[in-house]
Amino acid sequence: MAGRRPGHPVVALVLLLVVLTGCGGRPAADPVAADVQRLLDRRAAAVLAHDERAYARTGTAPDPARLRHLPLAGWSYRVTALHRTGDRATADAELRYRLAGYDRAPVTAGRTLRLSRDADGRWSVDSDRPAKKSAQQLWDQGAVRAVRGEHSLVLGVGQSGRSLRDYAGLADRAVPAVSRVWGTDWGRRVVVLVPKSLEGMAGLLGSTASSYRGIAAVTTGEAGTPARAPADRVIVNPDAFALLGGLGEQVVVTHETTHVATRRNTTAATPLWLSEGYADWVGYRATGRTPREVAPELSRAVTEGRVPTVLPDDEDFGFTGDASRLARAYESGWTACLLIADRWGEARLGDFYRAVGEHEQRSGAVEEAMRGVLGTTPEEFTRLWRGYLRQRLG
């Protein structure tokens, strides 16, 4: 190692560090960043108070009317980065908000805010948009309308009050239907988001419209979340939903509500054939529809002698693949759950679902749950399921 000269270089480095860190030993705070944070604190307080005058003093983008009917229990910004050029700046921020009565913890969203400073040195917000790679929030798409049901909160953009009340009615019927079979150990309330179009749905999911064409609704939420977490959102595709009849609408909303109820027990160990099959089983349970009516694609395959040899993989549930393959995957999961309910009982089906989700990983989860709850093996269950398909669909 080369020798080091004693004296000045080290002293100079120490002096430089003192200058950079200041007397307190920490980097000096950026006064502009502090000003912007105070501005956003005032803005958040105005949003919570629905004080449009105070909001206007922080900048008027987006239009405060878009937020007027949001039932909020919390709203705050945290500036994470600031990029400034003269009297203009761009702030990266974390928005945290809670819907009153529904979110037990804040929803977190990345936002990008553009700001400008006037001649008196006051900063104001010129725009507030989703950060890069972040999904839109409903108010990014227009003024939000809200309808409260007995068990539901429906938020919509570009929808009539009557339409939103209809969604609330569907959700209010779905909640007790799910509780009758799953139990009451869940929030028993549903948040439904209804954008104006398929494109709006895709924006809320941070995806492309082609990924969800023909999909009536999806539920967002992190699998295996604790009780203290933001409420799941049921996001509707109004274009596809409009093609459903009354029965189909109720089945879809009950299916999605089942995902809300089972979220804490749905983990990385839970295969999609079980989570989607169980949600369909609850959705169709009280409809009186026959297996051939519920599973037309699978019925056609069985009638033609193409009886599935295995339960579907997660990949078979991809929205962008073949529509017939997707339908058969859902119908296969539904018939597997129907078999369990018919042979072992509805309560045992719920026990099986929970037992699978208790595992920390996928490997061995279904096998152990089948052995412990149903007293069978995956191989024997598959054999029974194939026979069940021939009996009920052939």
Quick: pLDDT tens for 102-124: 999 999 999 999 999 999 999 99
All structural domains of the chain, each given as residue ranges with its CATH number in brackets, are 31-134 (3.10.450.50), 138-261 (3.40.30.160), 267-394 (no CATH)
- The pLDDT, as a whole number, for residue 222 is 67
Quick: pLDDT tens for 278-329: 999 999 999 999 999 999 999 999 999 999 999 999 999 987 768 899 999 9
Quick one: how far is CA 333 from the chain centroid? 22
- Greater confidence (15 vs 289) lies with 289
- Greater confidence (225 vs 341) lies with 341
Mean pLDDT throughout 55-70? Answer: 94
Quick: pLDDT tens for 218-264: 999 866 666 668 999 999 999 999 999 999 999 999 999 999 999 99
Quick: pLDDT tens for 260-292: 999 999 999 999 999 999 999 999 999 999 999
Handedness of CA 332, 337, 342, 343 (dihedral sign): positive
Residue 205 reports pLDDT greater than 90: yes
Picking from 237, 271, 277, the residue whose alpha carbon sits closest to that of residue 258 is 277
Share of the chain above pLDDT 70, in %: 90
Binning pLDDT at 50, 70 and 90, where does residue 354 land? Answer: very high
Rounded CA-CA distance 87/117 in Å is: 5
- The pLDDT, as a whole number, for residue 360 is 86
- The pLDDT, as a whole number, for residue 21 is 37
- The pLDDT, as a whole number, for residue 23 is 40
- Give the strand pairing for 190-194 and 152-157: parallel
What DSSP letter does each residue of 155-203 carry, written as one string? EEES--HHHHHHHHHHHHHHHHHHHHHH-S-S---EEEEE-SSHHHHHH
- The pLDDT, as a whole number, for residue 19 is 34
Residue 257 burial (10 A CB sphere; 0-12, 13-18, 19+): buried
Question: Is the bond preceding residue 291 a cis peptide, omega within 30 degrees?
Answer: no
- The pLDDT, as a whole number, for residue 1 is 47
Residue 250 has φ and ψ, to the nearest 5°, of -65, -40
- Greater confidence (20 vs 153) lies with 153
Mean pLDDT throughout 126-140? Answer: 97
Mean pLDDT throughout 15-43? Answer: 67
- The pLDDT, as a whole number, for residue 225 is 61
- The pLDDT, as a whole number, for residue 208 is 93
Residue 12 reports pLDDT greater than 80: no
Residue 58 reports pLDDT greater than 70: yes
Average confidence score pLDDT of the chain: 92
Binning pLDDT at 50, 70 and 90, where does residue 17 land? Answer: very low
- The pLDDT, as a whole number, for residue 22 is 39
- The pLDDT, as a whole number, for residue 11 is 34
- The pLDDT, as a whole number, for residue 322 is 82
Residue 121 burial (10 A CB sphere; 0-12, 13-18, 19+): exposed
Residue 3 reports pLDDT greater than 60: no
- The pLDDT, as a whole number, for residue 319 is 79
Q: How far is CA 292 from CA 99, 253, 342, in A?
A: 41, 21, 16
Residue 392 reports pLDDT greater than 60: yes
Mean pLDDT throughout 154-177? Answer: 98
